Amino acid sequence: LPTGLSQWFPALEVLDVSGTGLTEMGTELLSLPCLHTLLAKNNRLGGPGSLPKGLGQAPLARSLRVLNLSGNRFSEVPPALLQLRGLRSLSLGGNRLQGIPPDIQELHSLEFLYLGGNFITAIPPELAKLPSLRYLVLCDNKIQSIPPQLAQLHSLRSLSLHNNLLTYLPREILNLVHLDELSLRGNPLVVRFVRDLTYNPPSLQELAGRTVKTRNIPYTPSDLPESLVRYLSLASNCPNPKCGGVYFDSCVRQIKFVDFCGKYRLPLMHYLCSPECSSPFSSASQSSTSQSESDSEDEASVAAHRMQKVLLG
C-alpha cells in the first residue's frame, strides 16, 4: 500500500486494491480509523507478513465491516482476521484453505461468509455459534458431512453446498425453517441416490443387549458388571414405529427423502436396527413391501424434477 495513505485520506471509508499484484499490506492500513470496506481480491496475498501486525488491535478492527480477500493464496484463515469483531461480510473464496478454524465463532457480527473454491474437508461445529449469519457459501470444496449443530443457525437464509462430497444431510437440518435457498448440486447424493445397505452383523453382546431391552428383562446394577449396565443404557430405539426394536453399535444406514417447508425434498440419514426392518422412514430399504409411493420408486425411474426440488441455485 502507498506510504502516507492515512495522511492523504484520513477519512477513507472504502479501499479497493483488487488485481494489483499485492503480496502484502503494510502498516498504513492500521491508521485508517474510518475504513469500513476493504477489497483486495485477486492478488498474491497469503505468505508470511501478508497482513500487518497489530491488525486486531488497530482502530480498523472496530470500523471494518466488509473484507474481501478472495482469489489469493491463503492456506489458512489468518488469525488476525478473527479479531475483526465488527466484520459483517468476509470473503475468502478461491484460496487454498484446508479448513475452518473453530475460532470463527468470535466473529459474532458476521452475516455473510464466503469460503467457496477451497480445499475444506470439514465444517467445525463452532460455525453454528454465529448468531447473525444469513448467507453461508461453502461450495466447491471437499466437505463430506454437515455437523448437526449447523441447525442452530436460525438466521440462515441461504446455504450453498454444491460441488462437495456429501452423501446425506443430518436430520437436524430441518430446523432451518427460515432457509430460502439450498444448493446441493454436484454432490454424490445428487449424482446417485444412496440405496445400498451398510450393516455389520451384531456381536453376541449386542444380541443379548437387544433381548434384554426388547423383552424388558429386569436387572439391577448389582446383577451385572458396571460396564454392561452402562452399555445397556446406550440403546437407541429403531425409528420404525412398527418395529419396537433397539440397536447399540450395529445398525443399517438408509436415506429418506423428506419434504421441507413445501419447497424441496431433502435426503436425510436414518438408522434401522436390521435389514429386515422395513421402515416407512426409508427410501433405501430393499426388503420393504409396504413403502409409500414416493419411497418405493426404482432408482432408474426417479424423475429429474424430484432432484430439482432439492436443488436451488
> Averaged over 6-21, what is the pLDDT?
82
Residues paired with 135 in a beta bridge: 112, 158
The answer to whether 160 and 137 have CB atoms below 8 angstroms apart is yes
Q: Which of 200, 198, 201, 280 is nearest to 238 (CA)?
A: 280
pLDDT in tens, 288-313: 222 332 333 333 233 333 333 344 33
b/e 271-305 (16+ beta carbons within 10 angstroms → b): bbbbeebbbbbbbbbeebeebeeebebeeeeeeee
Question: Sorting pLDDT into bands at 50, 70 and 90, what band is 69?
Answer: very high
pLDDT of residue 6: 52
Task: Find cell 500500500 and name the residue.
Answer: 1
What pLDDT does residue 60 have? Answer: 82
To the nearest whole percent, how much of the chain has pLDDT over 90? 41
Q: Is the pLDDT of residue 70 over 70?
A: yes
Cell of 242: 412398527
**Which of 64, 99, 97, 98 is closest to 81 using CA atoms?**
64
Q: How does residue 273 score in pLDDT terms, banded at 50, 70 and 90?
A: confident
Q: What was the pLDDT predicted at 193?
A: 47
Q: pLDDT tens-digit profile of 187-235?
A: 887 665 444 444 567 888 988 988 998 889 998 888 888 889 899 998 8
What are the residue ranges spanned by the domains of the chain? 5-194, 202-252
pTM (two decimals): 0.65
Residue 33: is its pLDDT beyond 90? Answer: no
79 vs 61: CA distance, rounded Å: 13
Task: Indicate the pLDDT class of residue 61, thresholds 50, 70 and 90.
Answer: confident
Model confidence pLDDT, tens digit, residues 87-142:
999 999 999 999 999 999 999 999 999 999 999 999 999 999 999 999 999 999 99
| Contact indicator for 127, 103 with CB cutoff of 8 Å | no
CATH of domain 5-194: 3.80.10.10
Q: Identify whether the C-beta of residue 55 lies closer than 8 Å to the C-beta of residue 83.
A: yes
Q: Above 80 in pLDDT, residue 279?
A: no
Model confidence band, residue 7 (pLDDT cutoffs 50, 70, 90) = low
Over residues 35-57, the pLDDT tens digits come to: 999 999 999 999 988 998 888 88
Taking only the tens place, the pLDDT of each residue in 170-184 is: 888 888 888 888 888
Rounded-to-integer distance, Cα 250 and Cα 102, Å = 32
